[in-house]
Amino acid sequence: MERQYIFIIAGLGILLLLFVYGKNPGIKYNFIVTSEVKAEIEPCGGVIYASNGTINYKLGEPFKSGERCTWTIHSPNATKISFQVVENGFIQSNMEVLKVGYFLDSDYKTIGNYQEVVLNYSSYNNSVDVPGPVAFVRFHPMSLTGLGFSLVFSSVSSGISLPFKYRNFHVSSTYGKINYPGHGKSYQPLERVTILLNPPVSATLALKYFYGDCGVQQDYLSIYKWGRYGYNDDSLNLLQQFCNSSISSIPSWTIQSTEVLITFHSSISGKNRGFEFIWVP
């Protein structure tokens, strides 16, 4: 009888793991969360939830020309995040292949609020400081040749919890669906959501619906893309912005050799069904 109980408990444990880590019918994403304060990451892009850490990408190995890698760094309650290149194998030294981006004052709705600074990798100027708590590290070597790099980041916190609810996702599948917040739930006030979409092939992205609030504060859904030629473009290009679901026809955009950044900014009283995107090759 005792052995039967053991098998039953083990079976329930396996079912629970399948439920938690199995396919999610809502957002399909690839993100990394750590309960520790320090994170170390190797893959090309992802989400890092940590106060300090290291990004090692193909260190000592050749990278491919035209790669596009973006890491979203979320350092909880950080007022400042510092980045420094500690090692690189780049042959050319005058290419702006590493940049750090951020939204001023956690404002995802105001056009032009996204800023970027060059993260140099020369021995005399290899560090930058940006406002927290969320920043984007972008690597796009274009025709640059060489080996990989290693950079470290650390954050400074005021010790005061910020009022915003940050959600960050990365999606790199060939096709899929993004439903936020999903499962019949409503989004909450003061949400700050970023979804970085980077399909491996050209795709068509379509907004199926957006139920927001165009009241006094307004809830904004914005679709941006970085320039096709990476760092020849210093900022995000706005494709379209919405504050409610009054869409006469389904808007769509072509994603080709670029990354798309979807941001959602809810007001102090915002609460509604959210939005859904689909993309296909």
**254/169 same-domain check:** yes
Q: Looking at the domain assignment, is residue 6 inside a domain?
A: no
Average pLDDT over residues 149-168: 90
**Per-residue pLDDT at 110:** 86
**202/224 same-domain check:** yes
Q: What end-to-end distance do the CA atoms of the chain give, in Å?
A: 54
**36/80 same-domain check:** yes
Higher pLDDT, 211 or 94: 211
**Per-residue pLDDT at 100:** 92
Average pLDDT over residues 248-272: 85
**Per-residue pLDDT at 122:** 67
Rounded Cα distance between 150 and 99, Å, is 14
Q: What is the pTM of this model?
A: 0.80
**94/199 same-domain check:** no
For 174, the domain range is 165-280
Which token pair is 267?
Answer: 């007001």
**248/178 same-domain check:** yes
Residue 104 CA, distance from chain mean position: 16
pLDDT band at 156, cuts 50/70/90? very high
Averaged pLDDT of the chain: 78
pLDDT of 114 strictly over 80: yes
Q: Which helix (H) or strand (E) holds 156?
A: strand 146-157
**127/188 same-domain check:** no
Q: Which of 155, 151, 147, 126 is nearest to 54 (CA)?
A: 151
Range among 39-48, 171-180, 212-221, 224-233 with highest mean pLDDT value: 171-180
Q: Name the domain count of the chain.
A: 2
**198/125 same-domain check:** no
**97/170 same-domain check:** no
Domain boundary among 157, 183, 201: 157
Write down how long the chain is: 281
* SS3 assignment, position 63: coil
C-beta separation of 37 from 153 below 8 A = no
**260/170 same-domain check:** yes
Query: Residue 30: what are its φ and ψ, rounded to 5°?
Result: -130, 95
pLDDT of 33 strictly over 70: no
Q: Looking at the domain assignment, is residue 225 inside a domain?
A: yes
Q: Looking at the domain assignment, is residue 125 inside a domain?
A: yes
Q: Looking at the domain assignment, is residue 134 inside a domain?
A: yes
> Could you tell me the CATH number of the domain that includes residue 148?
2.60.120.290
